[in-house]
Structure 1
Amino acid sequence: MTLSSISRAFSTAALVALSLSACTTTTQQGATGITRSQLLLVSSAEVETMAAQSYEKELQSAANKRALNTDKANLERIRRIADRLIPQVSAFRSDALAWRWEVNLETRDELNAYCAPGGKIMFFTGIITKLKLTDDEIAAIMGHEIAHALREHGRERVSQAYAQNAGLGIVGAITGMSQGTSALLQQAAQIGLTLPNGRGQESEADIMGLELLARAGYNPQAAVTLWQKMAAATGNSSGSFLSTHPGNAQRIKDLQAAMPKVMALYQQAKRNPAPSRAIVPRS
């Protein structure tokens, strides 16, 4: 066996060992029972810092264009909805209550919204106005995006990119011999935080989001009407919000299958509304 083949074998074995040791889950099961193990090679703090920097850049860019939080009526709507949804995150992870949550609205035609790692939410006006969303449907989108953050799907994608691209750098990180680990992490972050979520992550966020929706007292059936509106607006094509999402028919089928798990939570929330949590606005 040559030296290079020995190195490759050692690298592969080390990568497998590190991957196995890093498999965990970021959330409790909740009523919907999400239990998938995740590959998490980088820390939450690292990913949240990088995501916060990206979020700040987007806010600054929108502010420079005079497009940040200019639609006061819809800004108030999404912040009011977030105030009801955020307390429900404790069903999946109590530490998320302490995140520095933020909700902003950019005047932009795209059918898009996201929640960055650490609780930084952004909606684009296009998704609200073009689809004529009800509060329940806005909550369905927001619950879905919050679920991505709770499950740390961004951190998971960074870890996957790191594992795929590190090679011998992983070995160096284990043995302390590498000088390029930081550069590898930065490269992985650029890949992982900019790539869209995978279909499995999207399906996971759908079901967890449905539970958040129900616990906050919003009608879970709004998740179905939302995707019906999205399908009609896009002609079942893949816009930015839909690029890796499951097909609308399958998504609706999966949501309807999960309804029995969350309807009792919704009815309970309607009878006994949970206290909301006021988000301190940026401006």
Structure 2
Amino acid sequence: MAISLARAVPVWLLCGIAVACATVQTTAPGTVGVDRKQTVSPLVNRDALNKQAASQYRQVVNTAEQKKALNVDHVQTERVRRIAARLTPTVAAFRPDAVGWHWEVNVLTSKEVNAWCMPGGKIAVYSGLIDQLKITDDELAAVMGHEIAHALREHAWERASQAMNAQIGLTVIGIALGASGSTMDMAGMAYQAMFALPNSREQETEADRIGVELAARAGYDPRAAISLWDKMGRLAGNSQPQWLSTHPSQASRQKDLAVYSAKVMPLYEQATERR
């Protein structure tokens, strides 16, 4: 049913969506050559989105502080901030303006294995990531570089645009076909399978590639991204198939990281010579 629906509407639906979109180039390609032009919607206010992200970050930090879960381990916090201090100047290779962002780095006490960077350079690293993976500095730089890359590429803006366009498109489908709730659910599933998930994997691959370059430029071994995913794989155990995931499979991810970490090794060697 989802396939026949997709065949019935793609031309006029996608053309209608495209009218509302523009292409942008958020970053320079760097040595890794991330040069994909991104599609964004003028219906998504970029500044408002960034302000909302900053507000959410403050809420997360304030809540953690109230629960006495903010920067509890001072040695751990200093370690994370030291790595961030080496990474953030390297963003100039992709976005000179990002050097001037109001960068902020905090460690949240949680068993969750996670880290993220909101638009504008607001970074959070969860203690579970450090403790459960027994993470090295090089591996932590790979994680943080990956998350910083999402912010540099403004993937949140791109995803918000995709969500806006999806909502508009599915509403048009519903009006045109007089669709029932179940039909609309199937349309949503078709969109997820054909557009949303592949785009998310593309963003993850971009963040991987930019992340290893940021790490290499900061003097961290980019090959640590591969060992990081060995650890992540052992921790996660069996995972869902790649085509149903917003992340690349571990095998394809590690293969790609091996190629691009080798590509930036000269940058790593130059950085270590300077230190």
Normalising by the smaller structure, the TM-score range is 0.7 to 0.9
**Which amino acid counterpart does residue 203 of structure 1 have in structure 2?**
T
Q: Secondary structure at the match of 1:130?
A: helix
Matches within 5 A, 1:159-170: 159-166=161-168
**In the aligned structure 2, how far is the partner of 1:71 from the partner of 1:259?**
31
Q: Which amino acid aligns with 1:35?
A: D
> Hey, what does 2:256 align to over in structure 1?
254
Distance 2:165 2:116 in 1: 25
Specify whether residues 110 and 271 from structure 1 end up closer, same or farther in structure 2 by C-alpha distance, changes over 3 A only.
same
Matched with 1:84 is: 86
The one-letter amino acid of 1:145's match is E
Instruction: Tell whether the 8 Å contact from 2:223 to 2:262 is kept in structure 1 after alignment.
Output: no
State how far apart, in whole Å, the 2-side matches of 1:10 and 1:32 are: 36
Paired residues for 1:86-105 under 5 Å:
86-105=88-107
Aligned twin of 2:129 = 127
Letter in 2 for 1:36: R
Tell me how far apart the structure 2 counterparts of residues 48 and 119 of structure 1 sit (CA, whole Å): 10
Q: 1:160 and 1:260 mapped to 2: Cα distance?
A: 33
Between the aligned partners of 1:245 and 1:39, the Cα distance in structure 2 is 20
Residue identity matched to 1:99: W
Please tell me the residue identity of whatever aligns with 1:227. Answer: W
Match of 1:38 in 2: 38
Structure 2 counterpart of 1:179? none
Question: Which residue matches 1:280?
Answer: none
Letter of the 1:106 partner, please give it: L
The answer (yes or no) to whether the contact 1:30–1:91 under 8 Å persists in 2 is: yes
* SS, match of residue 121 in structure 1: strand
Q: Tell me how far apart the structure 1 counterparts of residues 17 and 249 of structure 2 sit (CA, whole Å).
A: 34
Q: How does 1:84-233 map to 2 (within 5 A)?
A: 84-166=86-168, 198-233=200-235
> How far has the Cα of 1:12 moved from its partner?
6.8
Cα deviation, residue 253, structure 1: 0.4
- Does structure 1 conserve the Cα–Cα contact (< 8 Å) formed by 2:101 and 2:120? yes
Measured after TM superposition, the shift of residue 114 of structure 1 is 0.3
1:236–1:248 Cα contact (<8 Å) kept: no
Q: Which amino acid aligns with 1:91?
A: A
What's the offset of the Cα at 1:47?
1.7
Compute the TM-score of the two structures, normalised by the length of structure 2.
Answer: 0.80
Count matched residues.
235
Residue 68 of structure 1, CA deviation? 0.7
**Per-residue Cα deviation, 1:202-243 (whole angstroms, up to 9, x for no partner):** 1110011010010000001110110001111111437xxxx6
Cα pair distance change 1:268/1:40, threshold 3 Å: same
Tell me the residue number matched to 1:66.
68
Report the residue type matching 2:38 in the other structure: Q
CA offsets per residue over residues 142-172 of structure 1, 9 Å max, x none? 00000000000001011111122246999xx
Q: Residues of 1 paired with 2:13 and 2:141: CA distance?
A: 45
Output the CA distance in 1 between the equivalents of 2:47 and 2:233: 37
- In structure 1, runs of 5+ residues without a counterpart are 1-8, 171-194, 274-283
Per the alignment, residue 24 of structure 1 pairs with 24
**C-alpha displacement of 1:16:** 2.0
Give the TM-score taking structure 1 as reference length. 0.78
* Paired residues of 2:87 and 2:215 also in contact (CA < 8 A): yes
Aligned to 2:117, the other structure's residue is in SS state strand
Counterpart CA distance in 2 for 1:246 and 1:113 is 17
Alignment of 1:229-240 (within 5 A): 229-237=231-239
Higher helix share: 2
